[in-house]
Amino acid sequence: MGVGAFALGSRLQRERALAACAAEGASVGATWNSDAESRLREGLLATAAPYAQIAADRVSASFSSQASAWSSARVRACQRARVDGEWDDDTLDRATWCLEDRRLELEALVEELSRADATIVQNAATAAVGLSSITPCLDPLRLAAMPALPSDRDAVLEVKRALWRVGAQRAAGAYATGLEEARDALARAEALSWAPLVATARWRLGSLLYHTGAYAEAERALEDAFFLARESGAQEVEFEAATRLTYTIGYLMARHDDGLRWRRHADIALTLMGEDETSLRRATHMHRVATVYYAKGAFAEAEAISERALATQLEALGAEHPDVASALNNLGSMQYATGAYDRARVHLSRALAIYEETLGPQHPHVADALINLANVNYFEGSYEEAKTLYRRALVIHERALGESHARVAESLNNLAELLRLTGEYAESKALAERALEIFERALGPKHPSVAEPLLNVATVSALTGDHARARNLYERALAIQQEAYGDEHVALAHALTGLAEVALAQARPGDAVTLAERAAKLRESGEAPPEQLADTRFVLARALCERGSAEAKAGAKASAKADASAGARARALAQEARAVYQAAKGKERALAEVDVFLASDCVAGGT
């Protein structure tokens, strides 16, 4: 009788415990429910973006999936401690804290996307699929590695709620609003003096700063976040700060080796977190690493890293995920930059198809893929096809983002460059000048992106005979790039080659040789695309000949041996350029110019 009563009591206790756990799991309904979903859909659809319906469907599906995963995890954590006796109270406490953090993230993103504007709606789907994984909240090893929980939990949770709101604003593209709130949240976190919270606040601030172009300030904030996170045991923040520093310093600030040193810190943090080679978090990090190698000019290594990361994402996410499309788009961009046009076309076409299917044919990400496909056609010499794709991308960007957005300026600049190449100088110049105006207003006059339309306008000016203006614009672009990237970056070669061309037109062949020599050295050491290196080598060949002719006319007593040596070098450079032009598509005009030069007296043996 006593045993039976005891057993019955145990069963009742178990049933009550299971019911209590189920109730805890259901509590996510306060964050994601039918009313929240309705508000979300209304907010996204109110933007009238052509892809708003698709965004609403995908966001709703992502949020429902996250809420379901959260609920299951909350029930399981409760059962492990209260029903099965697998966990002690401390482990349950940590799991509950971890899950509350994930719930706050979902809550913040629901609220942010529910008041969507044109910028937020374009980022909504990708922001939703980027919600943090629930899995670590059920991993006893990860839970044990968490910092000690704060004493004043309510106050800390309020700041964490604000920080997740900042994170949602960053994910949705609302950088200016997020930056203001991030500074306020950091001040509140510092007042509470719980180190993991302060580290998180500094990481959030740094992540927003680099989006606004304040790279030096971003570096300081992220570095402070990294070391404070390491000291306090906040491993996720330690990793996030290190991987952002890899990208910010290594790519955006073009300090490649410094960025790759931060890559090692991020790798160590991932290992300590138990993230193996199949980790999605590691794959995202490796895409950032690949970008640094690409910017450094180590194209083969960049491509190999990107392909490994893509394989991980395909395995984990499937072939139709927007993150997979982004990875394909980045990989294709690297491939066309190195002349691997066939492979680039395959990856970019797949990215375009995924974006159109998952985000809709009018989404800005579709325009990004179109631009990269246009670039492939451009480099292959299929100019009319490239024009069609560039113009389609421009229309999408203007409709989705408005006519004064920086992404619109990128589309304008791409089209302007192609029109310049096909001799449509008036339209090319007008588009490039419009792009320049947008970039300067949106990013400031010294942002590295401003250099691109400057170079376009400078080149058109040179081609139409306005060499004084061309020189001024090339020098301004060069100064912007030198400040951003330093004196040895391959990006400087474009402006240097243009300045060498202007020097030739202004009868300054000595200056032209100096400028072209520097540009050639940068493009040779930076592994520039072969057509670009050929352009610089041909300018240098002409400069060497014209300098020799000028010296001869001035009565210089150069030896016949020196004359022959200069002519031989000019001939060799021109022949190298000719071989590249002959193998490339769409270089008929350049090939003809080289042939005329090779028949000249200079390379035939005299100057």
Is residue 7 predicted with pLDDT exceeding 60?
A: no
Distance CA 524, CA 536 (A): 10
User: Which of 255, 162, 254, 236 is closest to 196 using CA atoms?
Assistant: 236
At 417-463, the pLDDT tens digits run 899 888 899 999 999 899 889 888 877 888 888 898 899 899 999 99
Cα→Cα distances 603→85, 124, 331, 593, Å: 88, 60, 41, 14
Per-residue pLDDT, averaged over 513-542, amounts to 90
In whole angstroms, give the CA distance from residue 196 to residue 59.
Answer: 30
Please determine, for residue 379, whether its predicted confidence score (pLDDT) is greater than 50.
yes
**SS3 of 431, please?**
helix
Is residue 129 within 8 Å of residue 323, measured between CB atoms?
A: yes
- Averaged over 369-373, what is the pLDDT? 93
Check if the beta carbon of residue 380 is closer than 8 Å to that of residue 348: no
Mean pLDDT for the stretch of residues 91-111: 95
The predicted-structure confidence for 212-255, as pLDDT tens digits, reads as follows 778 889 999 999 999 999 999 999 999 999 999 999 999 888 78
Q: What local confidence, expressed as pLDDT, does residue 607 receive?
A: 44
Tell me the Cα Rg of the chain: 29
Query: pLDDT at position 6, please?
Result: 41
- Identify the three-state secondary structure at position 545: helix
Q: What is the pLDDT of residue 9?
A: 58
pLDDT for 526 equals: 58
Cα dihedral 362, 368, 371, 373 sign: negative
- Is residue 530 over pLDDT 90? no
Amino acid 67 reads A
Confidence of residue 3 (pLDDT cuts 50, 70, 90): very low
Pick from 98, 129, 347, 366: nearest CA to 236? 98
Q: Report, as an integer, the average pLDDT of 283-295.
A: 92
pLDDT tens figures, 37-80: 999 999 999 988 888 898 899 999 999 999 999 999 999 999 99
Measured at the alpha carbon of residue 509, what is the angle toward residues 503 and 515, in degrees to the nearest 5?
A: 60
pLDDT score at 512: 96
495/498 Cα distance (integer angstroms): 5
Q: In terms of pLDDT, which residue wins out, 31 or 402?
A: 31
600: phi then psi, degrees, rounded to nearest 5: -80, 165
Is the predicted pLDDT of residue 209 greater than 70, yes or no? yes
Q: Which of 133, 106, 116 is nearest to 55 (CA)?
A: 116
Task: Tell me the pLDDT of the chain averaged across its residues.
Answer: 89
Confidence check: pLDDT of 266 > 50: yes
Q: Is the pLDDT of residue 592 over 60?
A: yes
Position of tokens 């400057």? 454
Q: What is the DSSP string of 32-80?
A: SSHHHHHHHHHHHHTT--TTHHHHHHHHHHHHHHHHHHHHHHHHHHHHH
> Three-state SS for 429?
helix
> Would you list the DSSP string of 191-202?
HHT-HHHHHHHH
Question: Taking the model in full, what pTM does it have?
Answer: 0.74
Q: What angle do CA 205, 208, 212 make, to 5 degrees?
A: 130
Token pair in block for residue 229? 């996170």
Exposed/middle/buried for residue 556 (C-beta within 10 Å: 0-12, 13-18, 19+): exposed
- Please give the average per-residue pLDDT across 356-363, as a whole number: 87
Instruction: Quote the pLDDT of residue 80.
Output: 95
The length of the chain, given as a count of residues: 607
pLDDT-wise least confident of 231-235, 376-380, 516-520, 552-556 = 552-556
Provide the sign of the torsion angle of the four alpha carbons 401, 407, 410, 411, taken in this order: negative
- Under 8 Å CB-to-CB from 554, ≥6 apart: which residues? none
How many CB atoms neighbour CB 409 within 10 A? 28
Residue 195, pLDDT > 50, answer: yes
Cα 72 off chain centre by: 34
pLDDT value, residue 320: 85
